[in-house]
Amino acid sequence: MKPARVLVTGIATAAGLALLAYLSAVPLPYHADAAAGLRLSWSARPERIEVCRAVSAEEQARREEHMRQRVECEGSFATYTLRVELDDRVVGETLVRGGGLRHDRPLYLLRDYAIPSGMHRVRVALTRRETTDNDAAAFAKAAVPEADTGLFAGRAQREVTERARRARAAIPARLELDTALAFAPGRVALVTFNAERRRLELHAEGERR
Amino acid sequence: MRRLRRLLRPLLTGLDGLLTRLYGWEGNPIHQTGTVAVAMLLLLLGTGLYLVLFYRVGSPAASVARLAADPWLGSWLRTLHRYGSDLFIIAAVLHALRIFVQDRSWGPRTLAWVSGLFLFGAGLICAWTGYVMAWDSFGERLALEGGRLLDALPILSEPVSRSFAGDGPVPSAFFFVNLFVHIALPLGLGAGLWLHVSRLARPVLLPPRRLMWGMIAALTVVSVLLPATLGPAANPLSLAPATPTDLVAAWWLPFSERLPAGLAWGLGLGGALLALLVPRLTRRRREAAWAPSTVDPRLCTGCNQCPQDCPWEAIRMVAREDGRPTLVAQVNPARCVSCGICAGSCAPMGVGPPERSGRDQLTRLRSGELPALRAAGALPIIAVCCAKAPAAHLQALGARGAHIHQVPCVGNLHSSVIELFIRNGAPGVMVGGCPPRDCVGREGPKWLRERLFNDREAELQPRVDRRRVRLLTLAPGDLTGALAAFEQFAAEVAGLAAPESEPEAEPDTVCDPVPLEEAAT
């Protein structure tokens, strides 16, 4: 091979390899320099919207012993409206419902909003769309008195306790966060739902929950 | 599809020519795209084995950062792993393009095409998981995009993307599953590769040593000089203005990010479906040039040569039904790609695609071309050229006084054709084939060389002066070399005594039957 051809081949090979190295790490733009972000992320149980009725003593007597619930409810899970305002301007208003094809799974929420950096007033509201005055606990009080014995003794109380637990685990009918925050460029402020305190909380500047 | 093929052909030929000018046809990597991809896969396995020893699913970013900071093995092997994966993808894409442009994507090659697509898809997923493993800003970007695409499918009630929202650490289980996929898929690639070449006889899996080690050495040098970058560790609560993106492995990312997830899925699946349908869309009617080989059982001596030479394992020897004590060749049309190599391998000329058997070649020569040549005077040097040879080469050879005799593939050429030319007074026959690793019939130039110079069955008869026969490679980008070889050959035959002309000479077309026991050995 002639020296000139060796040189050309060497240069071409080096250029090809340099191109390969460049293409393997091209600085690809991602987010605007001055941009900040607001992220909403939480999961929680939606409320059950139910129509309840107290089961009469006669009806209970016709059932097997283990089937004798004092209150029977039918219904579906609540849906919610999520509204996000920035400086009194609505930046997002969406319907939020439980996960899964039948929307009977917990509600998983993940929304990202691009926000110019700087001081902003942020309002986030999650509001139940359905109205209901069915209170299973109230029906329970009105139901037939405790008649269970033996293995099923105390069932009425357990029913009440379980309903109360479910109600506590569900999202309140309305959640709201209204605050002012200085959004740092390149940073994301995170809004989460604190299930114990049953309220929305803001985490900013990389602060972790 | 044919229009697309016509559009792509000049691009690929141009690239082929450029690489031949740089490396010569012997070292042209574009003829070795499939084997280069396999070599890179082995390189990835080797380097990956080292890297995985130091990877921690509990602290992915920190463990990769430690590797990247190691100036000795860590940084070098990590970079080699990355560049090797990029070269794997480039080689795989070029391989598919070549197969498509060369009309090798349908019929018996459908299995190879479809399995190749799955191998390529698995390679892309491997690259994806590999970058996520590093968990730098680019890995996070890929994970987020993957999460967005997965969340668009109604199969997971909890969005995958929530794992990267920042309201909790990314679970180690995610990195464990990611690592598992990254390691398990290459094992699957091995099985897929077996399927990919399962219809080939004597599959070549690795490039020539010089090319393979040359490439690895070149990648090693560039890995040391230009170590792969590692972006800042992933931080879900930070918005990176840019990420160091591998546009070879993640070429789809800039498009996908700009599209709604449904549309991205639609385009991706639509593209994959279209690619899977290529065998259907490009298939030809199995007639004329695409008709499968047939066997004339009256001529077949049962010598067992055509099954040995067939590059597609499309021929087997079976018991005869006419009572003769020999086997007979049987062609499986579903496996035959009509390359015609069997026609060149059959001494009694009893097998080959219609109109292309050895007898058809001799008949055609006698009935038209040879009388016309004789009528024109003394025969010139005959250049028997593959029909796929570059047109510029044929023109240049013709301009230098050679008579061009085109054949579909030089592996298709029966040695008796060469004998007939020479015994009719041609001073020499130069056979110009494609570069051996660029032969559409896979093994045409290899078997021809064996038949002409190494007495492989259907050999050129000893009475033919070998000094009057020369093999030449006609590669795009190597016109000068081809012409120099031709001129040297012309000078050599000019120095020989004038050939005897035997217009009535008959090449041997009758062979003795090969007994069963001999055929079996």
Helix (H/G/I), strand (E/B), else coil: B405: strand
Q: What is the pLDDT along chain B (521 residues), one digit of tens a residue?
A: 888 999 999 999 999 999 999 999 999 999 999 999 999 999 999 999 999 999 999 999 999 999 999 988 999 999 999 999 999 999 999 999 999 999 999 999 999 999 999 999 999 999 999 999 999 999 999 999 999 999 998 787 788 899 999 988 899 999 999 999 999 999 888 899 999 999 999 999 999 999 999 999 999 999 999 999 999 999 999 999 999 999 999 999 999 999 999 999 999 999 999 999 999 999 988 888 899 999 999 999 999 999 999 999 999 999 988 888 889 999 999 999 999 999 999 999 999 999 999 999 999 999 888 999 988 888 899 999 999 999 999 999 999 999 999 999 999 999 999 999 999 989 999 999 999 999 998 999 999 999 999 999 999 999 899 999 999 999 999 999 999 999 999 999 999 888 777 777 777 766 666 666 666 55
One-letter amino acid for residue B454 of the chain: N
pLDDT of residue A50: 84
Q: Quick check: B61 and B138 in contact, CB under 8 A?
A: no
Q: What's the pLDDT at A67?
A: 83
Q: CA-CA distance, B273 to A14, in Å (whole number)? A: 37
Does the structure show a pLDDT above 70 at A99? yes
Chain A residues lying within 8 Å of B222, measured CB to CB: 17-18, 20-21
Chain B contact set for A21 (CB, 8 A): 83, 222, 226, 228
Tokens of B263: 């549309």
CA nearest to B472, candidates B412, B387, B410, B517: B410
Q: Residue B492, CB half-sphere, CA atoms under 13 Å: how many? A: 15
Cα B317 to Cα B199: distance, rounded to the nearest angstrom: 17
Is the CB of B86 less than 8 angstroms away from the CB of A23?
yes
Four-residue CA torsion sign, B22, B26, B32, B37: negative
Neighbouring CB atoms inside 10 A of B58's CB total 10
Q: Length of chain B in residues, anyone?
A: 521
Tokens of B352: 């080959």
DSSP notation for B68-93: HH-TTHHHHHHHHHHHHHHHHHHHHH
Query: Which tokens in the block code for residue B495?
Result: 């120095």
Q: Which residue has the tokens 């077309």?
A: B509
CB atoms near residue B168 (< 10 Å):
13
Tell if the CB–CB gap between A39 and B22 is shorter than 8 Å. Answer: no
Which residue type, as a one-letter code, is found at position A185?
P
Q: Is the pLDDT of residue A145 over 80?
A: no
Name every chain A residue with its beta carbon within 8 A of the beta carbon of B219: 17
Please give the Cα distance from A184 to A116 (Å, whole number).
9
Residue B439 CA to residue B344 CA, distance in Å, equals 15
Report the residue of A6, A8, A11, A20 to disrupt the B interface, i.e. the one with the largest count of B CBs within 10 Å.
A20
- Cβ atoms of A185 and A37 within 8 Å: the answer is no
More confident residue, A55 or A22: A22
Q: Would you tell me which residues 493-512 of chain B have a C-beta closer than 8 angstroms to some C-beta of chain A? A: none
B155 Cα to chain A: minimum distance (Å): 8
Q: How many CB pairs under 8 A join A and B?
A: 123
Task: Find, among B268, B345, B338, B241, the residue nearest to B303 by Cα.
Answer: B345
Q: Are B358 and B303 in contact (CB under 8 A)?
A: no
Q: Is B355 in the A-facing interface, judged by CB distances under 8 Å?
A: no
Specify the pLDDT at position A136.
55
For chain B, domains (ranges, CATH) are: 30-233+242-281 (1.20.810.10), 288-494 (no CATH)
What pLDDT is attached to residue A206? Answer: 41
The residue ranking higher by pLDDT, A133 or A101, is A101
- Give residue limits of the domains in chain A: 32-203
The answer to whether the CB atoms of B243 and A27 lie below 8 A apart is yes
Residue whose C-alpha is closest to residue A109's, from A90, A88, A92: A92
Rounded CA separation B92/B175 (Å): 27
Distance CA B229, CA B244 (A): 7
d(CA A61, CA A22): 79
Q: Are B51 and B195 in contact (CB under 8 A)?
A: no
CB contact under 8 A, A41 and B166: yes
What's the confidence (pLDDT) of residue B49?
94
Cβ under 8 Å to A: B residues 152-211: 154, 157-159, 161-162, 165-168
Which residues are CB-contacts of A103 (< 8 A; sequence separation ≥ 6)? A76, A77, A79, A97
Name residues whose C-beta falls within 8 Å of residue A75's C-beta, 6 or more positions apart in sequence.
Answer: A48, A49, A50, A51, A134
Q: Which helix (H) or strand (E) segment is B20 a member of?
A: helix B2-23
Are the beta carbons of B167 and A42 separated by less than 8 Å? yes
- Measure A97 CA to nearest chain B CA, in Å: 11
Token reading at B334:
């579903």
Cβ within 8 Å of A, B 10-29? 22-23
Tokens 């409320």, residue located: A47
Residues 6+ away with beta carbon under 8 Å from B487: B400
Distance, in Å, from the CA atom of A127 to the CA atom of A79, rounded to the nearest integer, reads 8
B106: CB partners within 8 A, 6+ apart:
B113, B278, B279, B280, B282, B283, B284
Q: Could you tell me how far CA B500 lies from the centroid of its own chain?
A: 42
Residue A208 pLDDT > 60: no
CA B372 to chain centre: 39
* DSSP per-residue codes, B295-363: E-TTT-----HHHHH-TT--EEEEE-SS--SSEEEEE-TTT-----HHHHH-TT--EESTT-SHHHHHH
| Rama region for B202: left / alpha / beta (φ>0; ψ in -120 to 50; rest) | left
CA atoms within 13 A on the CB side of B472: 32
User: Which residue in the set A13, A101, A187 is minimally distant from B239, CB to CB?
Assistant: A187
Using pLDDT thresholds of 50, 70 and 90, give the confidence band for residue A71.
confident
| Tokens of residue B241, six digits | 């203005």
Which residues of chain B have a CB within 8 Å of the CB of A34?
none
Of B162, B235, B243, the CB nearest to A28: B243
Query: How many residues make up chain A in this entry?
Result: 209
For B162, nearest residue in chain A (alpha carbons): A110
The overall average pLDDT reported for chain A is 86
Q: Model confidence at A207, in pLDDT bands (50, 70, 90)?
A: very low
Q: Which two tokens stand for residue B504?
A: 């009535």
- Chain B residues inside the 8 Å CB shell of A206: 235, 237-238
pTM value?
0.88
Contact (CB<8Å) B245/A100: no
- Taking each continuous run of H as one helix and of E as one strand, the counts in chain B are 20, 9
Say how far apart CA A183 and CA A189 lie, in whole Å.
7
Phi first, then psi, for residue A35 (nearest 5°) are -80, 150
Cα–Cα distance between A67 and A204 in angstroms, integer?
A: 50
- B249 CA: distance to closest CA in chain A (Å): 8
Q: Measured between beta carbons, which residues in chain A are less than 8 angstroms from residue B87?
A: 20
> In the sheet where B382-386 sits, what is the strand order?
B403-407, B382-386, B429-433, B469-473
Q: Are strands B327-331 and B315-319 parallel, antiparallel or unpaired?
A: antiparallel
Residue B399's SS3 state is helix
B412-468 pLDDT, tens digit per residue, is: 999 999 999 999 989 999 999 999 999 998 999 999 999 999 999 999 999 899 999
Residue A16 C-alpha from the chain's centroid: 49
Task: Name the residue type at position B453.
Answer: F
Shortest distance, CA A19 to any CA of chain B (angstroms): 11
Q: Are the C-beta atoms of residues B162 and A110 closer than 8 Å to each other?
A: yes
Dihedral pair phi/psi, residue B304, rounded to 5°: 75, 20
Can you give the pLDDT at residue B296? 93
The one-character DSSP state at B241 is S
Q: Judging by DSSP bridges, how do beta strands B382-386 and B351-352 pair with one another?
A: unpaired
Q: Among B23, B236, B239, whose Cβ lies nearest the Cβ of A9?
A: B23
Q: What is the 3-state secondary structure (H, E, C) of B279-308?
A: HHHCCCCCCHHHCCCEECCCCCCCCCHHHH
User: pLDDT band at residue A140, thresholds of 50, 70 and 90?
Assistant: low
The DSSP H or E segment spanning A29 is strand A26-29
Contact assignment for A25 to B228 by CB distance below 8 Å: yes
Mark out chain A residues that contact chain B at CB-CB < 8 A: 8-9, 12-13, 17-18, 20-21, 23-33, 35-37, 39, 41-43, 99-101, 105-106, 108, 110, 186-188, 190, 192, 203, 206, 208-209
Mark yes or no for CB contact B83/A24 under 8 Å: yes
